[in-house]
Chains A and B, each alone.
Chain A
Amino acid sequence: MNVLGKVGSIFTDSCHTAGGVFLLLGDTLRSMFRYRIRWDQLWEQMFFIGIRSQVVVLTTGAFTGAVFAAQVWFQFKRFGMESAIGPTVSIAMCRELGPVLCCLLLAGRVGAAMAAELSSMKITEQVDALRALGVYPTEYLIVPRFLALVISAPILTGLALVTGIGCGYFVAVKIFGVDGAYYWDNTIKFTDSKDVVIALIKSFIFAVIIAAIACHKGMNCPPGTAGVGKTTTEAVVNASLSLLIVNFFLTVLLNALLYSN
């Protein structure tokens, strides 16, 4: 009975949180059109998210591409399938590794920063001070963060793809001695523009998830400093897990939509 009660309360809590996240998302979209955009805030966030995350994202992309190319080479050379390494690396990077890993890192870096910043503003009454000055917090705090992440994530993912595929090429061709022209030719021949579209759509949706969960957590922080730590951790964990789960359904859905014929 007790276990059942616990499971039940976890379930209702999750539903409650999910509902809160969707409400916040709706409110953010509405506020985006209702109020004028605060460009200075948006630039500041774009700078933090878009520019300052580049090192992290590029490193992720580069080493993922490199290690994947190496692993694929180890396996494929046994069957004499060296010519398939290029497209395998590039398609895997575009469809899964690029957007998923890039956005997981963004969840860690940007999601944590958003949740921590908003929750410390919340517990030090700065959010209330904002309200007291007649400013709607969603419009001032959340919209710029949301937009900045949603714009930056696809661009960063694109960069990660380019470096990942480039590093895959470098590893396969320069280190393991696969024929370069052949590798490149096959990569281009088998990588569709749809693969890139999948990468961009996925990273866009992941960015929406990260921003919505991190902002929701931050704005609902329990009082006290311990609340900030807990909120930040939960934001990153929840965003990462939701992202991975959504990724599965998104993969199935996009496959059905883009390759229906």
Chain B
Amino acid sequence: MLQLKEIRKSMGGQEVLRGVNLKLGEAEKVVVIGRSGCGKSVMLRVIMGLLQPESGEVFFEGKKLTGLSEEAWNPYRRKIGMLFQGAALFDSLSVFQNLAFPLREQGEKSEKVLREKVAEALKIVSLSGTEEKMPAELSGGMKKRAALARAIISRPDIMLYDEPTTGLDPIVADSINRLILHLGKMFGMASIVVTHDMVSARMVGDRISYLHEGKIYFEGTPEQVDRCEDPLVRDFVRGHAEGIGITG
């Protein structure tokens, strides 16, 4: 359904992505892990067409998206939702208006329908009753959840999550993981989840891809990743577990 072929992209004079290949099937959930700064967010931006790669192609439902003009991208972007690492809520709009924004863009005019859908979406991310708040009045985690609600409210075919559980308490983080699974089951929504959180990765991933030095270094099911003997992968997966062991 979505495919990246040999994506190369430099940022600020340094080659960040050096030939990334990734395939996402119907209703599949792929988790992308990797060290901080390895280019995970850049990869999501390339998929969304927010950054143009120097070479390589992005295919969506068999159609090549790379090379399309900014405006020609827009119909496809509406089928792909993205949760930004920094939430990126529109800070001049209230939470309600933020969530209603994608629906209004897709032609929904009835205030009643909008109210209902927004209330429902907020309930899913346990933010009920915050409609009239401005983004500046929300905590970091609440912003993230509001942004998540905005991204999924129009039921895109694919969701790209950039660190959906970072900065959330474990209980809310767990509910977000369940939400990702739920959306996949209920609506057949495929997802790419970028995360550092191995708990979340094991829970939601059908497949885990380890991005290293601009390439997908290792790919496999959560079990395969756990059994993997490669030192780089093992260090990443264990490093995290040991970290928790020390602080906890």
B66 → chain A closest CB, angstroms: 15
Let me know if A129 is at the binding interface, CB within 8 A: yes
Contact with A along B93-109 (1 / 0, CB 8 A): 00000000110010000
CA gap between A132 and B48 in the complex, in Å: 7
Residues of A close to B78: CB separation below 8 A: 133-134
- Chain B interface residue number, banded: 20 to 34
Most chain B Cβ neighbours within 10 Å, of A124, A131, A132:
A132
Cross-chain contact B101 with A133 (CB below 8 angstroms): yes
Residues on the B chain within 8 Å of A135, using CB: 74, 105
Interface positions, chain B 151-169, Cβ under 8 Å from A, are: none
Residues of the A chain whose Cβ atoms lie less than 8 Å from the Cβ of B71: 136
Q: How far is the CA of A161 from the CA of B67 in the complex (A)?
A: 51
- The answer, yes or no, to whether B86 is at the interface (CB within 8 Å) is yes
With A and B bound together, what is the CA distance between A131 and B74 in angstroms? 7
Whether B82 pairs with A132 at a CB distance below 8 angstroms is yes
| Contact, CB under 8 Å: B105 / A129 | no
What 0/1 readout, one digit per residue, does chain A (103-143) give for beta carbons within 8 Å of chain B? 00000000000000000010011101111111110000000
Contacts of B86 in A (CB 8 A): 124-125
A129 touches B45 (CB 8 A): no
Cross-chain contact A133 with B88 (CB below 8 angstroms): no
Question: When the two chains form the complex, which single residue of A129, A131, A136 contacts B90, counting CB atoms closer than 8 Å?
Answer: A129
Interface membership of B50, Cβ < 8 A: yes
Q: Is the CB of B105 within 8 A of A124?
A: no
Chain B residues positioned under 8 Å from A133 (CB to CB) = 77-78, 101-102, 105
**Who on chain A is nearest to B50 by CB?**
A128
Does B70 reach chain A (CB closer than 8 Å)?
Answer: yes
Is B210 positioned at the interface, with any CB of A under 8 Å from its CB? no
Question: Is A126 touching B91 in the complex (CB atoms < 8 A)?
Answer: yes
Which residue from B80, B82, B88, B102 sits with its C-beta under 8 Å from A126? B88
Contact indicator A129/B70 (Cβ below 8 Å): no
Q: Specify which chain B residues have a CB less than 8 angstroms from the CB of A136 in the assembled complex.
A: 70-71, 74
Closest beta carbon of chain B to A47's beta carbon, Å: 13
A128 pairs with B74, CB closer than 8 A = no
Distance (whole angstroms) from the CB of A132 to the closest CB of chain B: 5
Cβ–Cβ contact B82 & A134, under 8 A: no
The contact of B77 among A124, A125, A131, by CB within 8 Å, is A131
Chain B residues within 8 Å of A126, by CB: 88-91
Shortest distance from the beta carbon of A156 to any chain B beta carbon, whole Å:
24
Name the B residues within 8 Å of A130 (CB-CB).
Answer: 90
Q: Lowest 9 A-B CB distances belong to which pairs?
A: A129-B88, A134-B78, A125-B88, A134-B74, A134-B77, A132-B82, A128-B50, A133-B102, A125-B84
20 contacts between A and B (CB under 8 A): A124-B88, A124-B91, A125-B84, A126-B88, A129-B84, A129-B89, A131-B49, A131-B77, A132-B50, A132-B81, A132-B84, A133-B105, A134-B73, A134-B74, A134-B75, A134-B78, A135-B74, A135-B105, A136-B70, A136-B71
